[in-house]
Structure 1
Amino acid sequence: MRPFERKFPPVVVAAMVGLTLAITGGVLVVAQMGEKQSLAVPTGFMVGAIVLELAAIVMLVTIRPFAWDRFFLVLGWTLLAYVLQSGIIEWSFIINDVPGRPLAVLTAGLVVFATIVPLMIAFTVARYQSVAP
């Protein structure tokens, strides 16, 4: 069976919704910076993002057969790039004295960003590779 004829679980859909929640939560935190902040909604968004990322991972590991060698090759390099990006953004939060609780929520969003985007990229590449049944 050719790769484009196979049906896959909605890994990218779950991951994209999770990424959207993480970014929205981060925007809400930054929008309230300097005011008395309620972190309930942004924290809920981050929890939702983490749950959806874990759901995407669970769906991904159940796929058989799959081009795992290609997946891990792409995942490794994209993870390196996105961890570096997230580290630089985190550093900017720290040197700009973002307070503890908002920083924790923003850091959770950066962790989701740094791991979920490489997962989506690697899955998208590997799903179109031919594998033996």
Structure 2
Amino acid sequence: MSATSPATQERHWPPVAWLSTGALVTVIVGGIVMASYAPRRPPLGLAAALLALALILLGVVGVVLARLERFSWVTFAKVFKWALLAYVIEAGVIEFAFVRDHTSGTALAIVTGMLVVFAVSVPTTIAFTVARYADEPTRATA
């Protein structure tokens, strides 16, 4: 009889959800910084730095995901594609509001980058969380 319970034998997963959520929090803080200056022109340096940090975090997530071995890639792909569709639509509606409000130039580029991080990080977190509990640890072939 084993002295360890099944709970202690649970596989340790890399912090994919934490990293992608960290990227999301970073762009939310950047958005708050930009919005706090309305209607004046916001300082774009801090917002751009936060966006760069968020993109680095998403890059790390991509590397960590690519290195996973026993993982349900089929489940991840199924969940990710539908969540991505929903969040791209949501980010597109938000982007439309900024364009309609005549936001332009560097501020619009930074907001667009933040919306891209938003549209990718949330589906990544959702898909990873679902796939790590899936039964079939296979790699997607499509």
What amino acid sits opposite 1:82 in the alignment? Answer: Y
Instruction: Work out the CA distance in 1 between the residues paired with 2:84 and 2:12.
Output: 26
Match of 2:50 in 1: 45
Larger radius of gyration: 2
Q: Tell me if the contact between 2:72 and 2:135 (Cα under 8 Å) persists in the aligned partners.
A: yes
Per-residue deviation, residues 3-27 of structure 1 (Å, max 9, x unmatched): x811111111111111110111112
What amino acid sits opposite 2:62 in the alignment? Answer: I
What amino acid sits opposite 1:104 in the alignment? Answer: A
Larger relative helix fraction? 1
- For 1:64-75, what aligned pairs fall within 5 Å after superposition? 64-75=69-80
Q: Tell me if the contact between 1:78 and 1:118 (Cα under 8 Å) persists in the aligned partners.
A: yes
Per-residue deviation, residues 32-53 of structure 1 (Å, max 9, x unmatched): 2332432111110000000001
What amino acid sits opposite 2:10 in the alignment? Answer: E
The DSSP-based 3-state class of the residue aligned with 1:5 is: coil
Tell me the percent identity.
36
Q: Tell me if the contact between 1:26 and 1:105 (Cα under 8 Å) persists in the aligned partners.
A: no
Deviates more, 1:72-81 or 1:97-106: 97-106
The DSSP-based 3-state class of the residue aligned with 2:69 is: coil
Instruction: Work out the CA distance in 1 between the residues paired with 2:130 and 2:95.
Output: 28
What amino acid sits opposite 2:43 in the alignment? Answer: S
What amino acid sits opposite 2:108 in the alignment? Answer: L
After TM superposition, the score normalised by the length of structure 1 is 0.92
After TM superposition, the score normalised by the length of structure 2 is 0.87
Match of 2:119 in 1: 114
Give the paired residue count: 132
Match of 1:32 in 2: 37
Unaligned stretches of 5+ residues in structure 2: 1-5
The DSSP-based 3-state class of the residue aligned with 1:71 is: helix
Unaligned stretches of 5+ residues in structure 1: none
Q: Tell me if the contact between 2:72 and 2:137 (Cα under 8 Å) persists in the aligned partners.
A: no
Higher RCO, 1 vs 2 (CA within 8 Å, ≥6 residues apart): 1
Match of 1:17 in 2: 22
